[in-house]
Amino acid sequence: MTVVTGPARTGSGERGPARILVVDDEVFLSDMVAMALRPAGYRVAQASSGRQALELAAGFAPDLARRHASRPRRARGVPPAAGHR
């Protein structure tokens, strides 16, 4: 997992920089997205699989999740947010 800091959110009850979870099995693409978000000041967690993303999301509590558009054959039929609230 890679964490990048980001802009602070405003308002009461907010917990600091916005958190983005980047999910992609292509590590290069995931790294490029994280590198683009770094200068903007976001906190970024990276996962290389849906299973890893669900595990990270439990502790990281992202405000936004970005995932690769296509899914491997073995994952078809499973909703992208299965197991995540």
Rounded to two decimals, the pTM is 0.66
**13-50 as b/e: b if 16+ CB within 10 A:** eeeebbbbbbbbbeeeebeebbeebeeeebbbbbbbeb
The percent of residues in the chain predicted with pLDDT above 90, rounded, is 40
Phi-psi region of 50 (alpha: psi -120 to 50; beta: other; left: phi over 0): alpha
Helix or strand run (H / E) with residue 42: none
pLDDT tens digit string along 46-61?
999 888 999 999 999 9
Mean per-residue pLDDT of the chain: 76
* 2-6, 54-58, 65-69, 72-76, range with the lowest pLDDT: 2-6
